[in-house]
Amino acid sequence: MHRRSLLALPFAVTLPSAAARAQDYPDRPVTMIVPYAPGGSADVLARAIGPAMSEVLGQSVVVELRPGAGGNIGANYVASNARADGYTVLFASISLSTAPALQDIPFDPVKDLVPVFGLGAIPSLMVVSPASPFRGLADVLAAARARPGEVTFGSSGPGTGSHLAGELLAAQAGVTFTHVPYRGSGAVYPDLIAQRISFLLDVAGSSAGQVSSGAVRAIGITSTTRAEAFPTVPTIAEQGVPGYEFLTWFGFFVRTGTPPEALQRLEAALQHALKAPIVQERLRQASAVPVPHEPAAFGRWYRNEVERWQSMVQSGRLARLD
């Protein structure tokens, strides 16, 4: 036997195969990338889901925030830089379906990421300062028509759900609002309460507490039916914008090429987490509605969402952001 072969033999015997490593998954902590600012709905949900996942995986699930660019910085990290081994999971939201239509991004989420699990979708509340003269959507639209551009709305940043909900409302109502971006929804509230901006469309998971405490007043909800938690808050659709609906969905993805064994373990862990009382309570508080959970069904649902937003841009109902 050649000397090179003899030297290589121990390594061939001792190094585990890729298949063996996949079967051992996970043998170290899993990182959950949350591409949004701290304190928002994604962050709150992630910190409830992570410990429940750990009960099935037998390893810690570490939540890591990578906010910026409307969620695209964290998503691009998973799609382009993370290893396709199941140890880095993206907790994505609606920006993953809107970005391909609205912005130039350095990755293709449909090709570069694999859907693992759909968690749910949450409506947004249209909130104003308690001192605001706006008592309902009709007041907002009347002011926008009388003084185009003077009615302002805050958001968590360009391309985020709070931004797109406002742009979609303006487009469907035929009015003009001025967008004021912030670094996360939490940063919007001081200016909203002080009436330095007119309104905010914030996902119910983070706005519900502000409404319940009296810090802000809800004048509309973006679902097609009223929420059980806010029965007196009318939908935007019933206030003069028929067909308006905006739901912020949440789901999990990994980089394309992740071994099937890892995908199956992650799905099982997320199925378990969904049933955890604390996760169910978080979703109930946010008035969440279901989306398909299983990877294949969620994948089809997600691709339909991507195509829906692309259609809106192509038809002129919504303008690109760049």
Note the pLDDT of residue 158.
Answer: 85
Please name the residue that has the structure tokens 């990578």.
66
Q: Which residues of 170-193 are buried (b: 16+ CB within 10 A; e: fewer)?
A: bbbbebebebbbbebbbebbebbb
Separation between Cα atoms, residue 215 and residue 217, nearest integer Å: 7
Percent of the chain past pLDDT 90, that is, above it, reads 80
Note the pLDDT of residue 1.
Answer: 46
3-state secondary structure at position 259: coil
Q: What is the domain-level CATH number for residue 41?
A: 3.40.190.150
Tell whether 174 and 269 lie within a shared domain.
no
Assess contact for 174 and 109: CB atoms under 8 A.
no
pLDDT tens for 128-165 read 999 999 999 999 999 999 999 999 999 988 888 899 99
pLDDT tens for 190-221 read 999 999 999 999 999 889 999 999 999 999 99
Indicate whether 3 belongs to any domain: no
Indicate whether 179 belongs to any domain: yes
Assess contact for 220 and 202: CB atoms under 8 A.
no
DSSP 84: S
Tell whether 132 and 55 lie within a shared domain.
no
Domain-terminating residue out of 206, 239, 272: 239
What global pTM score does this model have? 0.84
Note the pLDDT of residue 11.
Answer: 44
Supply the range of the domain harboring residue 218: 123-239
pLDDT tens for 229-258 read 999 999 999 999 999 999 999 999 999 999
Q: How many domains are there within the chain?
A: 2
Separation between Cα atoms, residue 52 and residue 315, nearest integer Å: 43
Domain-terminating residue out of 188, 221, 239: 239
Tell whether 256 and 162 lie within a shared domain.
no
pLDDT: which is higher, 320 or 28: 28
Q: How confident is the model at residue 184 (pLDDT cuts 50, 70, 90)?
A: confident
Domain-terminating residue out of 203, 219, 239: 239
Tell whether 234 and 135 lie within a shared domain.
yes
Q: What is the domain-level CATH number for residue 127?
A: 3.40.190.10
Indicate whether 12 belongs to any domain: no
DSSP H or E segment with residue 173: helix 161-173
Separation between Cα atoms, residue 234 and residue 219, nearest integer Å: 7
Q: Look over the chain and give the mean of its residue pLDDT values, rounded to a whole number.
A: 92
Q: How confident is the model at residue 6 (pLDDT cuts 50, 70, 90)?
A: very low
Indicate whether 99 belongs to any domain: yes
Tell whether 39 and 186 lie within a shared domain.
no
Q: Which amino acid is at 140?
A: V
Q: Which of 214, 219, 244, 217 is nearest to 234 (CA)?
A: 219
